Amino acid sequence: MRWARWIDHLPLWVALGATVATDIYEPGELVVMALPLGVAAAVEILRWDLGRHHRWLEVGALIFFLADLARGRGVFPVAIHTLFLLAGVRLALPRELPQRRQLVLMGFLLFLATAASTTDLVFLLWSLLWLGSAAAALLQQAWETSASLRRGVLFSPPYARVPAWMGAALVLGAGFFLILPRLNAGLRPRAFLGTAAMAARAGFGDQMDLGGGGPIAPNPEVVLRIVPPPGTDTASLAGSDLLRGVALETVQGMHWSTSDLTPPGLRGERGASRTQQAEFLFSPSAQGILTLPYGTVRLRPDLSLRLGGGGSIRWRFPQSRPIPLDVVWSLGRPEVSEPWLAPRRLEHLTELGSEHEAARRWSLRFAPGILSTPELAKVLEQDLRGFRYTLDNPSGRAANPLEDFLDRTQAGHCEYFASAMALMLRARGVPARVVNGFRLGPWIPEGGYFRVSQDQAHSWVEYWDQGRWHVADPTPATAGQDTRGATSGLGLLVRWLDNLRYQWDRHVVRFSDQDQMAGLSWMQARLQGWEWRWKAPPAGLSWGLALVAAGWVAWRTRRHWRPVPPGPGSIRALRPLLDRTRRGATPLTGETARAWLLRLGALRPERAESLRRLADAVETEAYGGRNGTASALAKAEAVAWRGWKAPI
């Protein structure tokens, strides 16, 4: 076959595609994985023979392994890099059947290592592709072994059976998935978490630095889905459009971070008369911080949570898959209660540095004179909203980004607006801090949930007045629902794909023993309540259907019940060939087996030699004993005559 030699490459390239789809490796690591396979493909195209250089290739692989291990990046990445390298070396060298089986095993190990790091729906497609590629490679290997023992014309391997095998494996796997006990082992290694570079991309963080450099790129990674109960008025949830994550109270230069003085937890209105409830489905994150609505009063379950810095609520252990929480929060003003500030804490929340002089000047320019705290906050908020929102970060490379933002560009993203307002309030003696969290994302009507991605990450201000923390958002309204990227107004295809991912996570990834028992109970209830209500058809119709079925069976089995032709038909070994040539070259009356076979050779000259050998084998078996040679040759000839029609 022309493309047979490329079948060995296929499982390795599919394993590489699955590895890329996980999005957990840096681009440099992906290049290291793809380079050996690319070189092996070039060797295959150029037909180079590197067999005499195999020692040098093996020594080079050993040196690479030791150098990669010395970098200290962890055992898992080193093992995966080495497997890809060894697979490339094996593909570049001459290979027999044992080495080709080793390649399938390497592809399986690479795929298995990747499968332990993701549960995404896209990975199911890669799983099916890998199953098909491995089946094609094994089929090719088994077919070549069998074809080497077969005489006559060779046909292509039956690759058409591979999709059927894939479908059968999918159905079988789905059946076992439904009936086997549930196991939630969480096998994602810690070494896989956060290995991909995320710099210069939109997203939530527990720190903030205005001197971050260049533009911020959009980041559509989904971090949270909020599923309200059926029948809930979504407008009430849209009113809670800020999801609070962590408070940043310490500022040093252009850098904001959490403070040890911040009280733990998010204080809600415990006695609130109006509350709202929804399921929050949190995706795994590097910080492990939960972003929750203002006024959160209850989380279920709360056994795996802990209080963290900056008044945040965090996962107690790193999560490897999406985790659902039932969240109940009070409806009303987005405020946090804190009746009293200690002198040390009050001093910390009004602290300014010399590099913040621009915030002091602009505070007096925006709001001269003496104003109450709410009036001052409102004036600063409105005036800052007159600046321009952009992700280009034009002040990021300046020596003093805040001063450059206020005096020159007057354009930036939400971190600049929140920092400027918080420092302006501090310059006027008002305790203020920056809060990082998310805006509420777009509503997905196909799935009935709100979708929050890293593009909705947002920063705003909380200022203290009369025993409560009040919220102010100075980011311009032109940023709308999306202050980090353009994901609002999602297209129909994007919404359906996102809903498909959510349904996959809900009904497959999170399929639990409770779901299993509920499904079995539903089936049991339906079976117990089922009644036989079928009414037999009239007798005439029944007899008619029976006759039609009998006629169809007789027609399909006609080759077995019609009389055997005389002459060659009496020889059992020739019956497969007789069946193939019945329409165009049936034996004539009184024609011997040899004469009939030679006549077939005249009709198909390219088969004449094979038919002559078959005639000799038939006579030898008929007169010299039964050794099975004629039967084997006749079956091979029957295959070669498949689809033959007599000339018109």
For the stretch 188-210, pLDDT in tens is 444 444 444 444 678 898 999 99
Residue 506 tokens, joined: 């809900």
Whether the predicted pLDDT of 221 surpasses 60? yes
In three-state secondary structure terms, 336 is: strand
Calculate the alpha carbon distances from 504 to 68, 148, 394, 511 in Å.
Answer: 37, 46, 41, 10
Per-residue pLDDT at 582: 75
Render pLDDT for 225-262 as a digit per residue (tens, 0 to 9): 999 988 887 776 766 789 999 999 999 999 999 999 99
Of 371, 485, 507, 499, the C-alpha closest to 429 is 371
Please indicate whether residue 258 or residue 606 has the higher confidence score (pLDDT).
258
Phi and psi at residue 247, to the nearest 5°:
-100, 130
* Range of lowest pLDDT (163-177, 282-296, 551-565, 577-591): 551-565
Whether the predicted pLDDT of 407 surpasses 80? yes
Whole-angstrom distance, CA of residue 613 vs CA of residue 603: 16
Whole-angstrom distance, CA of residue 547 vs CA of residue 398: 91
For residue 124, give every residue at least 6 positions away whose Cβ sits within 8 Å of its Cβ, in sequence order, or none: 504
Instruction: With cut-offs at 50, 70 and 90, classify the pLDDT of residue 516.
Output: confident
Asked, as a colleague might, if the bond just before 301 is cis with ω within 30 of 0, I would say yes
* Range of lowest pLDDT (335-339, 484-488, 503-507): 484-488
How large is the average pLDDT for residues 33-59? 90
How large is the average pLDDT for residues 622-639? 75
Flag whether the pTM goes above 0.85: no
Phi and psi at residue 434, to the nearest 5°:
-100, 140
How large is the average pLDDT for residues 463-483? 79
Tell me the domain boundaries of the chain.
Answer: 4-190, 215-483, 492-530, 559-640
Kind of pairing between the strands at 336-337 and 323-330: unpaired
Whole-angstrom distance, CA of residue 412 vs CA of residue 405: 7
Whether the predicted pLDDT of 433 surpasses 60? yes
Highest mean pLDDT among 59-73, 153-167, 414-428: 414-428
Strands (E), 137-236: 208-209, 222-227
Geometric angle at alpha carbon 377, from 374 and 383, rounded to 5°: 140
Per-residue pLDDT at 526: 74
Per-residue pLDDT at 593: 86
Answer for the pair 509, 120: CB distance below 8 angstroms, yes or no. Answer: no
* Range of lowest pLDDT (174-183, 308-317, 501-510): 174-183
In three-state secondary structure terms, 70 is: helix
Give the count of beta carbons closer than 10 Å to the beta carbon of residue 646. Answer: 10
Instruction: With cut-offs at 50, 70 and 90, classify the pLDDT of residue 624.
Output: low
User: How many angstroms separate the first and last alpha carbons of the chain?
Assistant: 32
Whole-angstrom distance, CA of residue 447 vs CA of residue 274: 26
DSSP single-letter state for residue 391: S
Which stretch of DSSP H or E encloses residue 464? Answer: strand 457-465
Whether the predicted pLDDT of 314 surpasses 70? yes
Kindly compute the dihedral angle of the four CA atoms of residues 633, 638, 640, 643, in this order, to the nearest 10 degrees.
Answer: 180
* Range of lowest pLDDT (57-61, 295-299, 389-393, 589-593): 589-593
Which stretch of DSSP H or E encloses residue 463? Answer: strand 457-465
Per-residue pLDDT at 9: 92
Whether the predicted pLDDT of 484 surpasses 50? no
Whether the predicted pLDDT of 70 surpasses 80? yes
Whether the predicted pLDDT of 320 surpasses 80? no
